[in-house]
Amino acid sequence: MSRQNESKIYKIGQAAKLVGLKSYVLRFWEGEFEQLEPIRTPSGQRLYNEEHVQLIARIKMLLHDEGLTIEGARKRLDSFDPQSDAEMTAEIVGKNSAEQLPLFGMDKNSDGSFDTAILKEIHAELLVVRKLLD
């Protein structure tokens, strides 16, 4: 079994939700970023693996947080640091997925927000361990 078959696969809606985007944004980005090429089923359904989700999170950070243009983000993607990429992905994905986990419903802060610092730290460490195992 190949490594790709062992990683988690997400449908477009699931991948978009993990990084806090809408599905149509991912479809648009496919045309703009040659690096983003999801797996296609015979029926044409888009499937994203964990590496795709990391790339999507990186693109989101470049466009939304750093304010780069699409062209600037394309250039920046050509030279990225895997360590900082893993940390950034942990921050984006951890922030969006922690609120969806049932056990966090009981751990709300007084203002209704979730304390996700521990989850972010664990996720970042797991990504680093995964990179070491690859």
Domain limits of the chain?
A: 3-133
Tokens standing for residue 1: 């079994």
Report the phi/psi class of residue 61: left, alpha or beta, with left for phi > 0 and alpha for psi in -120 to 50. Answer: alpha
- For residue 48, give the amino acid letter: Y
- For residue 10, give the amino acid letter: Y
- Please report the beta strands in 1-133, taking only residues with DSSP state E, as ranges in sequence order: 10-11, 39-40, 46-48
Cα gap 23→27, rounded to integer Å: 7
Reported confidence tier of residue 68, pLDDT bands at 50, 70, 90:
very high
Q: Under CATH, which number does the domain 3-133 receive?
A: 1.10.1660.10
Cα gap 31→33, rounded to integer Å: 6
SS3 content of the chain, % helix, strand, coil (to 5): 65, 5, 30
5-9, 30-34, 111-115: which has the minimum mean pLDDT? Answer: 111-115
Cα gap 85→76, rounded to integer Å: 12
The pLDDT of 88-96, averaged and rounded, is 57
Cα gap 7→72, rounded to integer Å: 30
Q: Which of 31-35, 76-80, 105-109 has the highest mean pLDDT?
A: 31-35
Cα gap 111→126, rounded to integer Å: 29
- Burial class, 86, CB count within 10 angstroms (exposed 0-12 / middle 13-18 / buried 19+): buried
**What is the edge-to-edge ordering of all strands in the sheet holding 10-11?**
10-11, 46-48, 39-40
Q: What is the pTM of this model?
A: 0.57
